[in-house]
Amino acid sequence: MVDMSATLLHHGHIRLLKAAKQLGTVVVALTTDDEIRKKKGYDPELSYAERKEILEAIRYVDEVVPCNWLIENELLERHRIDLLVHGHDNANPIPDDKLVILPRTEGISSSELRQRVVHALAQIGENPR
């Protein structure tokens, strides 16, 4: 299982999914819209259904399921998941023997992309909100 919000999909997400696929079947635990609003304080650029559709079109993804912000062992058990694959910033309360930590792609995140767009809009005089 790989957990993500994928509000703005980028090459770091693809690299993570590709690496996870080398370990076996990939189930993406996709953060719901309500959880993003609660944890990040904004509406995602794409809805859950839109993000799910995009992820399901990626060859490294076998299934997409809804999830809360943090993944708990119960979700892994419910979906018969052996491992949670995550970047080094993992905060999920998962036992170490079920966790695979991979390095994040340097210089990219959905937050970084969001800031780039806001900056670009500001430069051309557009109001980003």
pLDDT per residue as tens digits for the range 52-61: 999 999 999 9
How confident is the model over 113-128, as a mean pLDDT?
70
**Exposure string for 44-66, b = 16+ CB within 10 A, e = fewer:** bebebeebbebbeebebbeebee
Please give the pLDDT value at position 103.
Answer: 81
Least confident of 63-67, 83-87, 121-125: 121-125
The 10s digit of each residue's pLDDT in 2-28 is 999 998 888 889 999 999 999 999 999
CA dist 93 → 75, 90, 96, 119 (Å): 11, 9, 9, 35
* Residue 68 CA to its chain's centroid (Å): 11
DSSP notation for 1-48: -EEE--SS--HHHHHHHHHHHTTS--EEEEEPHHHHHHHHSS--SS-H
Residue 128's pLDDT is what?
Answer: 58
- Sorting pLDDT into bands at 50, 70 and 90, what band is 127? low
CA-wise closest residue to 77 among 89, 65, 86: 65
Q: How confident is the model at residue 34 (pLDDT cuts 50, 70, 90)?
A: very high
The structural domains of the chain, ordered by start, are 2-123 (3.40.50.620)
SS3 63: strand
pTM exceeding 0.75: yes
